[in-house]
Amino acid sequence: MTLIDLTAPVVRSARLDGLPVAIIGAGPIGLAAAANFVERGIEFVVYEAGDGVASSVDQWAHIRFFSPWRHSIDPASRRLLEATGWTAPDEKALPTGADLIENYLRPLSELPAVASRIRTGTMVTAVSREGMDRTRTANRAETPFLLRIVGASGVVEEVTARAVIDASGTYLSPNSLASTGLEPLGLAEVADRVTHALPDVLGRERARFAGKHTTVVGAGHSAANTLLNLAALAREEPGTRVTWVIRNAGAVRVSSSPDDELAARAAIGSRVERLVAAGLVEQVDRLEIVRVTGTAEGVRLIGHRSGELVELETDVVVNATGFRPNLDMLREVRLELDEVVEAPKRLAPLIDPNIHSCGTVAPHGFAELQQPEPNFFLAGMKSYGRAPTFLLATGYEQVRSITAWIAGDVAAAASVELVLPATGVCSSSASASGGSCCS
């Protein structure tokens, strides 16, 4: 493992002077990085693939957070907003994804110092160094980054940057339905009957689920939130059925722990347990899905359960098995990732879901996130790889430290502090699967 000299100066060169920092993703963490750069007077550009800021959050805008507002607002962003007369929401209230966008992220993104530097509808498809691939070493640290981007019109461009913060998240890269990590055999033929995690079953996607049999696969809070909404739909729409498939004997991540300081999260577990006990949600545990096939009306899930072959028919499948980072765009960047959770090597032991819950993650910053590629950082949910223990407050401290390092303020970068609510909910067994939503 490469050791980092905390006293070493940030790399400077004439070729880097005047170039902005590239931030990939205009979600909560990317915008927090932007706010920190504004305060430090450092030029940056935010590249957002969606049509607006926080496009992934917008896909689950109907979901309510289990963290209150006091854990959901970045300090630098708060300072910039309050300087304009903005008033923060009630710190004890629990926002929905829509609340987070409308009452915090959109106002932040519309501040002139931030808005002028955001490029929406712009997808970063690759990151490299100008004139060199990952194998070339000479003068690498002094060479600008090269980002290949695709704009809304489909035009491909290349832009340069002095540093890169990849805060693009993982929501668009779900884990597989199959326990192997590979897509189950036959998925392509039924892909239109498998939905993303956290569908809006009571709102804009209601017609897809009303009166249908829906099977939710996954053992985390993304699955739990969807089960609660489907059960509510079943009370209103005759013929609506709900099945919950998990790979283990129990759903560890949605247990109703009395030690959870986030009461709303513990309540989610309790409510799901009651639904299962009442027969409103049918739970099928220890099912390892290996194949899916189409039926006249929906999908057949085929798998192994306690050594026996099991077939389960349903109309719609919700993939709530968690998320993984998209690393394809980073093939020419030198990365040092944990071989298990695909998080930065130094960060992985601090967030291992087999040991840590969301609330027991130690404070960490640029030192744990820095890669062998100088001035390249993974931040936010993407930095956690496949671990489901991420909270927004953690990501805010990450980018505060990273931006301080890029600014050359080594003392501030190295001084990391984080106060998180204690919880035992997000820990898992070695073979557990599922996502964690929401911070």
Query: Which CATH number do you get for residue 294?
Result: 3.50.50.60
**Spatial CA neighbour of 317 closest among 244, 422, 416, 381:** 244
162 lies in the same domain as 46:
yes
In this prediction, residue 253 carries a pLDDT of: 54
29 lies in the same domain as 168:
yes
Structural domain contains residue 5: no
Number of domains within the chain:
2
36 lies in the same domain as 164:
yes
76 lies in the same domain as 191:
no
Structural domain contains residue 180: no
Structural domain contains residue 295: yes
343 lies in the same domain as 304:
no
Strand order through the sheet with 163-166:
118-119, 44-47, 21-24, 163-166, 376-378
295 lies in the same domain as 376:
no
Question: Residues in the chain, how many?
Answer: 439
In this prediction, residue 209 carries a pLDDT of: 98
Structural domain contains residue 120: yes
pTM over 0.85: yes
150 lies in the same domain as 258:
no
103 lies in the same domain as 192:
no
List b or e across 170-196, with b for residues whose CB sees 16 or more CB atoms inside 10 angstroms.
bbeebbbbbbeeeebebbeebeebbbe
In this prediction, residue 297 carries a pLDDT of: 87
Q: How many CA atoms lie within 13 A of 400 on its CB side?
A: 20
Find the domain containing 359 and state its range. Answer: 21-172+323-414
Contacts of 154 (CB under 8 A, 6+ apart): none
In this prediction, residue 264 carries a pLDDT of: 62
In this prediction, residue 248 carries a pLDDT of: 85
In this prediction, residue 66 carries a pLDDT of: 83
In this prediction, residue 362 carries a pLDDT of: 80
252 lies in the same domain as 333:
no
Structural domain contains residue 380: yes
Domain finish residue from 289, 319, 349? 319
Residues of the chain with pLDDT under 50: 1-3, 7, 9, 423-436
In this prediction, residue 249 carries a pLDDT of: 77
300 lies in the same domain as 347:
no
Q: How many CA atoms lie within 13 A of 427 on its CB side?
A: 14
In this prediction, residue 2 carries a pLDDT of: 43
Structural domain contains residue 420: no
26 lies in the same domain as 161:
yes
Q: Is 298 within 8 Å of 358 (Cβ atoms)? A: no
From the number of C-beta atoms within 10 Å of its C-beta (0-12, 13-18, 19+), residue 307 rates as exposed
Calculate the dihedral angle through the C-alpha atoms of 269, 357, 108, 167, rounding to the nearest 10 degrees: -120
